[in-house]
Amino acid sequence: MATANKNLSDYDKKTIPNASKFRFGIVVSEWNDTITEGLFEGAYNVLIENGVLPDNIIRWDVPGSFELIYGCKKMQDHIVDAVIAIGCVIQGETKHFDFVCEGVTQGIKDLNVLHETPVIFCVLTDNNMQQSIDRSGGIHGNKGTEAGIAAIRMANLRHNF
């Protein structure tokens, strides 16, 4: 398990670029909202902790994880320096899980290849609810925090190279 020996919320603040000049978009799936709200809080809080003004964080909600692709694409049209896609897909009894996970992964990858504004993948794809709880502020920390740090680093990369 990739997160077994890592806390997703740990980072060295000294290594994070100054984020005060950046604007961020966060697109949040309403499906499994107890999890996605925790992920949003992690991303939002780490952006604020690293100098981003609250007015420079734009949040849009979409119905489910599959809709993150369109939401992020539209968010890229706004003047933001990076977008964070937040979702949670939990394994069920059918192959729907596989189709949604594959579609969202490929869709977000395509947005990164085709557009200049980076999209950070913060979509949990877990086997059960407990795994999602553990990664959205539980025993493994918060994947949203990790995504927020990635967004800052990618926004900095976009503007400096």
What angle is formed at CA 61 by the lines to CA 18 and CA 117, rounded to 5 degrees?
A: 40
Instruction: Write down how long the chain is.
Output: 161
Q: What are the tokens at 64? A: 């489910």
Catalytic residues: 96
The residue written with tokens 């502020």 in the block is: 137
Check residue 58 and give left, alpha or beta (phi > 0: left; psi -120 to 50: alpha).
beta
Q: Which residue type is seen at 150?
A: A
Torsion of CA 36, 119, 13, 51, to 10 degrees: -90
Q: Which amino acid is at 50?
A: N
